[in-house]
Amino acid sequence: MDENEILIIVGRNICAERNRAGLSQEGLAAIANINEKHLSKIENAHANPKITTIIAIADALNISLEDIYKK
């Protein structure tokens, strides 16, 4: 699996979990204390986020890191 495939999987999973939680990008960004534009780029596989950002998103969504990286 190459880097682009991983970014696509991560972005899709974050978006799906955010929607399942009933949150907008703005709402999740506020809870995770990250920039809304950066979250948008992550969800669209246009950014390679730091692990600390991924952890903040997982914590805000109350999910595991495994949930973010699952195929």
Backbone angles phi, psi at 34, to 5 degrees: -130, 165
The pTM for the full model equals 0.95
Superfamily of structural domain 3-69: lambda repressor-like DNA-binding domains (1.10.260.40)
pLDDT reported for residue 25: 98
Query: Does the pLDDT value for residue 1 go beyond 90?
Result: no
Report percent pLDDT > 90 for the chain: 99
Query: Is the confidence at residue 19, as pLDDT, over 90?
Result: yes
14 Cα distance to chain centroid: 4
Q: Looking at residue 41, what is its pLDDT?
A: 98
Q: What is the mean pLDDT of residues 40-68?
A: 98
